[in-house]
Amino acid sequence: MLTGIGIMFFTFVLMEGVAWLMHKYVLHGFMWFLHKSHHTRHKHAFELNDLFFAYYGVLAMLFFIFGSEPIDYRFWIGAGITLYGLAYFLIHDVFIHRRIRLFGKTSNVYLKALNMAHKVHHKVQEKHGSESFGMLWVKPRYFRSAYEIVNKQEQEKRGSVHY
């Protein structure tokens, strides 16, 4: 069981690398015709880009199916992919893009840095020229900027208190 949980967490971490590579070379490459929907403004709830979510869901299901009788390493790989998919949904779709409004503004430096990096990625609405292709890993410069913003906001809060 402990080995399985280790495989699940290793898969979760590995998925960040897979997501980065897929995003940079596949989504902004030969599959741009689907991913383009994510870089353009629209009023409908779903976009063609959501098909990639289904792809990873099917992949995880296959690992679950073929690794469940008896439970072996493939089951735990499927669990890691699923866990990453859940994190992706909550962070990318809910927190960053607000497709479901659950979270308000945050003063968490990591989440603010993540949001900033993603906004920079979306500044470019073309196939080429974007940066920040990961979902959870953020370049240090975004942390520095987020930390400065959070610090400034906290100082303003303290400075605006009147007795």
**pLDDT, tens only, 2-22:** 899 999 999 999 999 998 898
What Cα–Cα distance (Å) separates residue 69 from each residue in 55, 114, 119? Answer: 23, 39, 44
Task: Tell me how far apart the alpha carbons of residues 81 and 19 are, in angstroms, rounded to a whole number.
Answer: 11
Residue type, 38: H
> Which residue from 135, 107, 158, 117 is spatially nearest to 17, judged by alpha carbons?
135
Helix (H/G/I), strand (E/B), else coil: 31: coil
Cβ(12)–Cβ(80) below 8 Å: yes
**pLDDT, tens only, 23-75:** 889 888 998 888 877 777 777 677 777 788 888 999 999 999 999 989 999 99
Asked if the model's pLDDT at residue 122 lies above 60, the reply is yes
User: What pTM did the predictor assign?
Assistant: 0.79
> Which residue from 112, 79, 116, 85 is spatially nearest to 19, judged by alpha carbons?
85
Cβ atoms within 10 Å, residue 134: 18
